[in-house]
Structures are given as C-alpha cells and as structure tokens.
C-alpha cells in the first residue's frame, strides 16, 4: 500500500477515477431510464468536475475521516484485510455523503426538496458504491498499485 505522499496521491487518483466513472455511469443510466452504449460516453464526458472534487475530498478529507473512524473499530495489529475493509467501508460512507451533495446540486439544484432528494440519492448511491468498492474497485486499484510500485522483498 502507499508509503509516500506521491504513492498516496496516485492510489487516491486511480481509486477515485474508477469510482467516479462507474457511479456517474450508474446515475446516468438511472436518469436515462435505460442502459445504452451512449451512456458510457455520456458518463465519461460528464464526470470530470466531479472527479476533481471527489479526488481532492478523498485525499484531504474523506481519507482522514475514514481512517479515524476505522481505527475505532479495528486495531493496527489486526489482520490487514480487516483494516483494509474497515477503511474502505468508512471511505464509501464519507465519499457518498459528499458525492451525493454534488449529485443532487448538479441534478436538481438547491431547492425546497433538497433534503428528500439528497436522502434518496445517498441511499441509492450507497447501495451501489459499497459493493463496487469492496468487490471491484478496491482490489483492482490495489492490483494496479502493486504492479506499478513493486517493492523488493526483504
């Protein structure tokens, strides 16, 4: 896992890119009412502002909050997979919290229905984001990271 600030930035960037793209695709499909080939390109074109905001939030805010929350549940000496899953779960909780604000603002603006729209968006995004992070994006991001930043065995 990341040992330096540069490695941490890289890991955050690839993880955030995958999550933002798939979640943008998910929300695009919901908004369109069907899954078409055009949804892939629409999501790719529409994700960049959210990606920058989410990557910055992940690096500077959510990552720290997630670790703080995770280490109230697990201890540094626990099995690494439990630590990883705990951090991932809390990262999803915080990131979906922030990303749903962006999504509701982008989709509806700040209206009198903001809170109901936000809660609906949060719930539907959380249900998609948690398994996506635990089963696909997290392992894939770690594989990409390990492949690029191989460390010599001691």
pLDDT of 137 higher than 90: yes
pLDDT of 24 higher than 90: yes
Distance between CA atoms of residues 151 and 154, nearest Å: 9
The pTM of the full predicted model, rounded to 2 decimals, is 0.91
Domain boundaries, the chain: 5-148
Kindly report the average pLDDT of the chain as a whole number: 94
* pLDDT for the residue numbered 154: 47
* pLDDT for the residue numbered 151: 67
Residue 140: pLDDT band (50, 70, 90) is very high
Which tokens in the block code for residue 98?
């922030």
């Amino acid at each position: 896992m990341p040992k330096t600030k540069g490695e941490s930035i890289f890991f955050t960037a690839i993880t955030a890119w995958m999550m933002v793209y798939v979640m943008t695709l998910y929300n695009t499909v919901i908004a369109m009412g069907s899954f078409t080939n055009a949804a892939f390109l629409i999501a790719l074109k529409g994700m960049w502002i959210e990606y920058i905001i989410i990557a910055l939030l992940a690096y500077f805010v959510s990552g720290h909050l997630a670790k703080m929350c995770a280490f109230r549940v697990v201890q540094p000496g626990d099995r690494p997979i439990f630590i990883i899953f705990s951090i991932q779960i809390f990262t999803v909780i915080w990131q979906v919290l922030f990303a749903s604000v962006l999504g509701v603002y982008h989709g509806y603006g700040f209206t009198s229905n903001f809170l109901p729209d936000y809660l609906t968006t949060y719930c539907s995004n959380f249900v998609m984001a948690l398994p996506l992070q635990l089963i696909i994006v997290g392992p894939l991001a770690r594989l990409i990271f390990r492949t690029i930043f191989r460390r010599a065995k001691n």
